[in-house]
Amino acid sequence: MRLLVVGEPGSGKTSWCKEYIDEQRKRGATVGGILSPPREQQGQRVGSSALDLLTGQQVPFARLSLDESFEGGERIGDFTISRDAISFACGAIQRAVESSCDLVVIDEVGPLELSGRGLMPAVESALPSAANLLIVVRSSLREALQKRFPGYEFVVVADLTRSRSDGSELTDSGGH
C-alpha cells in the first residue's frame, strides 16, 4: 500500500503521522523511515529535523536560509537543507525497506524531491518494494507526485488541506 498524508505547510501533517505511527506501534507494527518534526522559535517555524523512526536518532535537516550558523547545501524557498541530513534520511528510509518494516514513513516529498533531488533516490527505491509506505506530500504537489509515478496507486488516508488536525482523525484506510 502507498498511503498519502496531504496538507499545506503548517497543517499538521507530521503531527498526524506521529499519532498514526504511535497507533500502529501499539498494534505491534514495526515502523521505520523518516519523520520531519518542525523546529520552532517564538512560535515561528525556523526549520525541521530528520528523525530515524527505527533508531530514534535525530539530526538537523532544514533551517531558514538566514541562519548563517547552519551548514547546508540545498536551498529551497526560504530554507537550506543539509546535504548530510539528506543522506541520513535516505539511509533511514532504505534501512526501513531492507528491514522489512511493516510501515515505512517518508516525511516529506516536497519541491526538492519532485525536482529529482533530496529524498527522491530513497522514494524511487522504496516505491517498487513490498513495503507499505506512508508518504507526506503538500496538497499542491499531490498531482505532481502522481504524474511522476503514474504506475502506482496512492491512497489518501489524511487530507489536512482545509483544517488543522490534532491527529484525532486517524484512519487505517480509505481517506477523506
Domain 2-159 -> CATH class: alpha beta
91-142, pLDDT tens digit by residue? 999 999 999 999 999 999 999 999 999 999 999 999 999 999 999 999 999 9
CB of 23 within 8 A of CB of 9?
no
Q: What is the pTM of this model?
A: 0.87
Q: How far is CA 91 from CA 29, 37, 130, in A?
A: 20, 18, 17
69-94, pLDDT tens digit by residue? 666 677 888 888 999 999 999 999 99
CB of 15 within 8 A of CB of 5?
no
Candidates 31, 78, 39, 57; CA nearest to 49 is 39
* Gap between the Cα atoms of 139 and 161, Å rounded: 6
